[in-house]
Structure 1
């Protein structure tokens, strides 16, 4: 992970937890304690039941990685995606249901993808024959890519069938990785040609499906849903922008622990205005500072060449004892336990 990834939101908590909540529930069915999956990640299993909960890409990928280690070779992404419905993506799903056609619904979903809990980036293209939705990584995480693509494409199928009926079938599914041992599961689920080792990940359908009318279309409900989304998501965007700006300013000078006044000056805000905006979003400057320090500490602790004393110094602690106490408070674990 690079400094550029930090600026692009790798450690910013802006991802809804729909996918992670479903993953935790599935792991519980496998006999694993979902609470343990969350240990040291900065959130609890109870947090995943809170509609307002947001996690960073780093936190989400860590949880997925743990689940994959506990359930290797099971096609976990396919299993999760198969269980999801249009309701699994929250308010965006409801707005999609009220669209006039399947194509309109897909276009809306693409435009609001950041609010669906997805950890991939999607792009829709349409020509005279096909509608194609391609998926690519937001960050370089090759060990969880297959899971994310499996989950996304299996979820696409369930959402499309929920909107257009069970007769919906993709034309083909292209994947940019080698066929896993359970490749037959792909054909069972998608019921179409599945091609591994392709240049891109793509979920491809016949263009005729885009014009399929939705039985749940309701123009008034659709307008209400869009208005509600605009209000809610504009607030969410403002909050994310504010948090990212503060976290970015903190990261620039983490060793020195910039004061609240320093951050306000960097954001060209008065201290009173910044304090009010944070209060409106239910968070304190200290909480954001601690979150940046915690995330940076977790990244550095993954490097065995760095001593705990070095990690403490880099995130602004004068001595390792205070760092150990703070880290235990942040994560429930000691720094040594996280190595």
Structure 2
């Protein structure tokens, strides 16, 4: 199973907190989702991925590049026990392979894989099957958060060699350079970022 149809309020809370920092109340973001303030106060609340995506759609309507910002806030500590397990892995490669074994715990809507290309490794997000209107948002959120995980595990930014996106460059393309310090390619065949293969063997601090 690629991802669970039931999920936690983790991503929703992230959206609400991000816009709260901008002074926007939560009502506009929760509109139509069926999630209310009482749900937010309970740690064991489960929602559907459809409810989560409704909140995300409201967020995108307010700020089109919000996926880049949300991904930046998804540090490895956001993933609970999985995050702790990643931090205790011996190498970056061990940590990434462990993460890719549990996509539901990552909360991803993609099939994630490590694709070898000579001396490069492409961390690829494929097989998206959710709302097409939110594809760009979800790709931004996914790839930026994966980059943040790599940076957190290493204790410093992972140098990237390239990033690819299977959609046309958005009008806020310049913001991509803030998250992906490497050559960017839009209208590509896949969604992925690349780094030197040697980083897979890098011991974690």
| TM-score > 0.5 by shorter chain | yes
Distance 1:211 1:67, change over 3 A: same
The answer to whether the 8 Å contact 2:2/2:104 transfers is: no
Counterparts of 1:241-260 in structure 2 under 5 Å? Answer: none
Q: Secondary structure at the match of 1:126?
A: strand
Q: CA deviation at 1:54?
A: 2.8
Query: Residue 200 of structure 2: which of 210, 217, 227 is its match?
Result: 210
The CA RMSD measured in Å over matched residues stands at 2.2
TM-score (norm 1): 0.56
Runs of at least 5 residues in structure 2 that lack an aligned partner in the other structure: none
The residue number in structure 2 matching 1:76 is 66
Which has a greater percent of strand?
A: 2
Runs of at least 5 residues in structure 1 that lack an aligned partner in the other structure: 1-7, 216-339
Report the Cα distance in structure 2 between the residues aligned to 1:197 and 1:88, rounded to whole angstroms: 31
The residue number in structure 2 matching 1:65 is 57
The residue number in structure 2 matching 1:26 is 18
Distance 1:204 1:118, change over 3 A: same
Which aligned runs of 4 or more in structure 1 are off by greater than 6 angstroms? none
Q: CA deviation at 1:97?
A: 0.3
Q: CA deviation at 1:51?
A: 4.3
Q: CA deviation at 1:9?
A: 9.5
Q: CA deviation at 1:81?
A: 1.0
The residue number in structure 2 matching 1:261 is none
Q: Which of these two proteins has the greater Rg computed from alpha carbons? A: 1
Q: Does 1:185 align with 2:170?
A: no
The answer to whether the 8 Å contact 2:31/2:55 transfers is: no
The residue number in structure 2 matching 1:47 is 39
Report the Cα distance in structure 1 between the residues aligned to 2:157 and 2:59, rounded to whole angstroms: 32
Q: CA deviation at 1:71?
A: 2.0
The answer to whether the 8 Å contact 2:158/2:195 transfers is: no
Which has a greater percent of helix?
A: 1
TM-score (norm 2): 0.89
The answer to whether the 8 Å contact 1:123/1:134 transfers is: yes
The answer to whether the 8 Å contact 1:16/1:116 transfers is: no
Report the Cα distance in structure 1 between the residues aligned to 2:33 and 2:52, rounded to whole angstroms: 9
Report the Cα distance in structure 2 between the residues aligned to 1:159 and 1:36, rounded to whole angstroms: 30
The answer to whether the 8 Å contact 1:171/1:192 transfers is: yes
Distance 1:94 1:176, change over 3 A: same
- Structure with larger RCO (C-alpha < 8 A, sep 6+): 2
